Structure 1
Amino acid sequence: MNWDRLQEKLSILSDAAKYDVSCSSSGSKRTNKGGLGNASFSGICHTYTPDGRCVSLLKILLTNHCIYDCLYCVSRKSNAEVKRTAFSVGEVVSLTMNFYRRNYIEGLFLSSGVMKSPDYTMERLTKIAKKLREEERFHGYIHLKTIPGASPELIHEAGLYADRLSVNIELPTQKGLELLAPDKNHKEMVKPMDEIKQGIVQYKDDKKNKLVKSMKFAPAGQSSQMIIGATQESDLDIVKTATALYKKFDLKRVYYSGYVPVLSDEKLPALNTSVPLVRENRLYQTDWLMRFYEFEPYEIVNADFPNLDLEIDPKLAWALRNREHFPVDVNTADYHMILRIPGIGVRGAKKIIVARRYGRLTYEKLRKLGIAMNRAKYFIHCGKYYVSNDYDSLQLRNLILHSGKSKYTKQFDGQLSLF
Structure 2
Amino acid sequence: MSRIEEKLKILADAAKYDVSCSSSGSKRKNKGGIGDASASGICHTYTEDGRCVSLLKILLTNHCIYDCAFCVSRKSNDVKRAAFTVEEVVDLTMNFYRRNYIEGLFLSSGIFKNADFTMERLLRIVKKLRTEERYNGYIHLKTIPGASEELIREAGLYADRMSINLELPTEAGLKMVAPEKDHESVRKPLAFVNEQMQSYKKESKLIRHVPSFVPAGQSTQMVIGATPESDFEIMNVADEYYKNYKLKRVYYSGYIPINNEHQALPQIGSAPPLIRENRLYQTDWLLRFYDFKLDEILHPGHKNLELDIDPKLDWALRNPHFFPVDINKADYKMIIRIPGIGRQSAMKIVNARKFGKLREYQIRKMGIAFNRARYFMVCADTPFTLGNMAMDHVKKRILENGNSTYKRKLPTGQLTLF
- Bin the TM-score by the shorter chain: 0.7 to 0.9
Give the TM-score normalised by the residue count of structure 1.
0.87
Q: Say whether the 8 Å CA contact 2:53–2:103 is kept in structure 1.
A: no
Judged with a 3 Å threshold, the aligned counterparts in structure 2 of structure 1 residues 106 and 241 are, in CA distance, closer, same or farther, namely same
Partner Cα distance (1:315, 1:376) in 2:
11
**Is 1:221 matched with 2:189?**
no
Instruction: Quote how far apart the aligned CAs of 1:270 are.
Output: 2.8
**Is 1:358 matched with 2:328?**
no
Partner Cα distance (1:295, 1:70) in 2:
35
Secondary structure, counterpart of 2:286 in structure 1: helix
**Is 1:305 matched with 2:305?**
no
Partner Cα distance (2:102, 2:9) in 1:
16
Match of 1:400 among 398, 401, 406: 398
Aligned residues: 377
Partner Cα distance (2:253, 2:313) in 1:
23
Secondary structure, counterpart of 1:351 in structure 2: helix
**Is 1:182 matched with 2:182?**
no
Letter in 1 for 2:246: D
Q: Say whether the 8 Å CA contact 2:62–2:81 is kept in structure 1.
A: yes
Q: Say whether the 8 Å CA contact 1:23–1:55 is kept in structure 2.
A: no
Alignment of 1:96-111 (within 5 A): 96-111=93-108
Partner Cα distance (2:267, 2:294) in 1:
28
Judged with a 3 Å threshold, the aligned counterparts in structure 2 of structure 1 residues 171 and 266 are, in CA distance, closer, same or farther, namely closer
Instruction: Quote how far apart the aligned CAs of 1:390 are.
Output: 2.4
Partner Cα distance (1:75, 1:269) in 2:
16
Q: What does residue 61 of structure 1 align with?
A: 59
Q: What does residue 227 of structure 2 align with?
A: 231
**Is 1:145 matched with 2:142?**
yes
RMSD of equivalent CA atoms: 1.6
Per-residue deviation, residues 144-200 of structure 1 (Å, max 9, x unmatched): 000010000000011000000001111000000111111100011110001100111
Instruction: Quote how far apart the aligned CAs of 1:369 are.
Output: 2.0
Q: What does residue 19 of structure 1 align with?
A: 17
Q: What does residue 265 of structure 1 align with?
A: 261
Q: What does residue 34 of structure 1 align with?
A: none
Q: What does residue 407 of structure 1 align with?
A: none
Q: What does residue 38 of structure 2 align with?
A: none
Q: What does residue 70 of structure 1 align with?
A: 68
Q: Say whether the 8 Å CA contact 2:57–2:107 is kept in structure 1.
A: yes
**Is 1:367 matched with 2:364?**
yes
Instruction: Quote how far apart the aligned CAs of 1:46 are.
Output: 5.0
Q: What does residue 252 of structure 2 align with?
A: 256
Instruction: Quote how far apart the aligned CAs of 1:266 are.
Output: 4.5
Instruction: Quote how far apart the aligned CAs of 1:17 are.
Output: 0.3
Letter in 1 for 2:253: S
Moved more, 258-267 or 92-101: 258-267
Letter in 2 for 1:275: P
Secondary structure, counterpart of 1:11 in structure 2: helix
Instruction: Quote how far apart the aligned CAs of 1:271 are.
Output: 4.3
Secondary structure, counterpart of 1:57 in structure 2: strand
Letter in 1 for 2:67: D
Match of 2:334 among 322, 332, 337: 337
Secondary structure, counterpart of 1:74 in structure 2: coil
Instruction: Quote how far apart the aligned CAs of 1:268 are.
Output: 2.8
**Is 1:117 matched with 2:114?**
yes
Partner Cα distance (1:325, 1:216) in 2:
46
Q: Say whether the 8 Å CA contact 2:70–2:265 is kept in structure 1.
A: no
Q: Say whether the 8 Å CA contact 1:46–1:55 is kept in structure 2.
A: no
Give the TM-score normalised by the residue count of structure 2.
0.88
Larger Rg: 1
Per-residue deviation, residues 8-47 of structure 1 (Å, max 9, x unmatched): 000000000000000149xxxxxxxxxxxxxxxxxxx951
Q: Say whether the 8 Å CA contact 1:24–1:55 is kept in structure 2.
A: no
**Is 1:160 matched with 2:153?**
no
Per-residue deviation, residues 46-84 of structure 1 (Å, max 9, x unmatched): 5169xxxx86210000000000000000100011x2011
Partner Cα distance (1:313, 1:83) in 2:
41
Secondary structure, counterpart of 2:151 in structure 1: helix
Q: Say whether the 8 Å CA contact 2:116–2:148 is kept in structure 1.
A: yes
Per-residue deviation, residues 391-411 of structure 1 (Å, max 9, x unmatched): 22111111100019xxxxxxx
5+ unaligned residues in a row in structure 1: which ranges? 26-44, 405-419
Q: What does residue 318 of structure 2 align with?
A: 321
5+ unaligned residues in a row in structure 2: which ranges? 24-40, 46-51, 403-418
Match of 2:243 among 247, 251, 261: 247
Judged with a 3 Å threshold, the aligned counterparts in structure 2 of structure 1 residues 226 and 55 are, in CA distance, closer, same or farther, namely farther
Partner Cα distance (2:389, 2:112) in 1:
61
Aligned-residue identity in percent: 59
Letter in 2 for 1:164: R
Instruction: Quote how far apart the aligned CAs of 1:356 are.
Output: 0.7
